[in-house]
Every structure is written in C-alpha cells, then in structure tokens.
Structure 1
C-alpha cells in the first residue's frame, strides 16, 4: 500500500481520547473532498484544550484508486470524526465500519470554529468515545475486504 507522502506527528496521541480530522489544503479551513484531499490535519480535543497531533500529506491522484483511499483512511486511526466538504457514499460507509463519523460541512468552514464547537459539546462526546469499544484490528480487516468502489466527487 502506498503511504502518505509526508506524515508529521507532533505529540503522543495516547493522551487524547478524542481525535478529530479535517480535510484541508491550508491547515485553517475544511475545503476538500476526502478522496482528493492533499492533507488531513488531526487535532486532539479535551474540554479545556485542543492540540495539533499530526498532519498527513498525500499526493493528489485522480480516479478511483484503492490505495489512495486506503492510505487516507489509515491516517484517521484513532479519530472519531472527519470533517470534509464531500465524501463518496461507499467510503462514508467504510469509515463508519471503522468507527469514524464523516461530517460534510460547507467549503471554507473554519477549523478553529469546529474545534470550539467540539469542546462545547465535550461532556456528551467524551461519554460516547470512552464507551465505544473499537476493534484494534479494524484497519487491517477493512483493508482485507474485497474491492471497494468510491463514488464520484459531488
């Protein structure tokens, strides 16, 4: 499998029970389709704190290439939510199977504002995250499944 072109981890992610990803070209706004994004920016969120945890950068390839989506999905490990402007239905379902909820937002939605909203809803979200039981092999199982079909960009 082709991996991300560049992958930057800023801190240990084990101290962050809630991780949120954003499909962004500029680090500040959600402005990309999940399958075409050049970058996923992942933040850790706590009630009183947010911190950039990692950035994964990808080469942008057109077409329905299995490895393109697989490496983007692998970059979402430990995330509970992905914000993007569009996502194909089949990939949306695959993300749900591995415990990641994709949320479509209008183009140029401010990441800082989404992080603030997440913090405002921290108590309820924290209860959901801490009670969710995730299979630690979910990414391996997803990659072993038969071919997927990415829907066209919206």
Structure 2
C-alpha cells in the first residue's frame, strides 16, 4: 500500500485570524505544485489550498511513495485518508471506485484537463463561490461553517414570519 512519504503544512503568520475557520480546503493532484497533471490513484502529491471567495492560500503539500499502476485499490486508502477535511480534489483522471470512495468520505472529485494551472482553477472556484455554487460546494460550506448543527440556523427565517 502506498503510504504518505511527506506532509508539509505551511504556517503563515500573515493570514488573518479566523481565515482558516471559514475557508474550504481544496486539493490538486500534481507533480510540480503548479499544474493539475496527475491521476488520483497514482498521484505523486497533492497541493492543498485554503480558499474563500476573496482569498486563496497554499496550505499543505502531501507526497506519496511511488504507487504501482496495477489497478490495485490499496493505494487509494492512503490518498483518501490524507484528504480528510478537504472539500474537493482536482485531478486529470479518477477511477469509478475512487470516485465512490471519495464521495463517501465527503470529498468531491473533479476531473480537469491535463496541465491545468492550479492558480487558474483556484480563480474559477472563487468565481463559483461568488456566483451560484454547485450543491456540493454549498454542502461543504455548511460543514465548514458548522451551520448544519447551529441551532440559530433558522432564526432569519423566523424573523421573516410565516404566512399561508
């Protein structure tokens, strides 16, 4: 089974306090930390960013031992576990079994063109956050903000009143 060989987390004192609390973690399957150029199941590494509507900051690099391209699903477990707390992973390809396992763990797999620039994809994602986000994005935002379990989540609707 391919294990994590290195996990580096950036500690950045320039990021405002509380930024991470409202940010989504987005991962990219990459070999160079600049382009989405890897298949999910055999990727060399993930570049993980913290993303809000207005900001995106590099957060973490997760590197893996070399994985055999043998169709074995053992290598998926380490990759999926490494994405705990991540809302989505962008990759150039992903198998059906990996898609099912990622979704089961709350990670949205997104396939993009090989060589897509990570910075470009971050910009597109931020535009989606500002506009009409997909359902999975709304669900991830709820999870990050803790709205689902917040007893005050219906207060605004209550103040609007109810009429039939």
TM-score using structure 1 length: 0.77
Structure 1 runs (4+) deviating above 3 angstroms are 11-14, 64-67, 123-128
The aligned residue for residue 161 of structure 2 is none
**If each structure's helix is expressed as a fraction of its own residues, which one has the higher value?**
2
* Count of matched residue positions in the alignment of Structure 1 and Structure 2: 133
User: Using the alignment, how far apart are the partners of 1:71 and 1:81 within structure 2?
Assistant: 16
Q: Mind listing any 5+ residue stretches in structure 1 that lack a counterpart? A: 134-154
The aligned residue for residue 113 of structure 1 is 120
Alpha-carbon offset, residue 81 of structure 1? 0.9
The aligned residue for residue 63 of structure 2 is 57
The aligned residue for residue 131 of structure 1 is 142
TM-score using structure 2 length: 0.72
Change (3 A) 1:80 1:51: same
1:36-78 alpha-carbon deviations (Å, 9 max, x no partner): 1100110000111111111100011212444421111111111
Query: What RMSD, in angstroms, separates the aligned Cα atoms of the two structures?
Result: 2.3
- Give the greater-gyration-radius structure (CA): 2
User: Using the alignment, how far apart are the partners of 1:52 and 1:120 within structure 2?
Assistant: 18
The aligned residue for residue 144 of structure 1 is none
Residues 91 and 110 of structure 2 are in contact (CA less than 8 Å); yes or no, is this contact kept in structure 1? yes
Q: Mind listing any 5+ residue stretches in structure 2 that lack a counterpart? A: 13-18, 145-164
Alpha-carbon offset, residue 120 of structure 1? 1.1
User: Using the alignment, how far apart are the partners of 1:67 and 1:14 within structure 2?
Assistant: 31
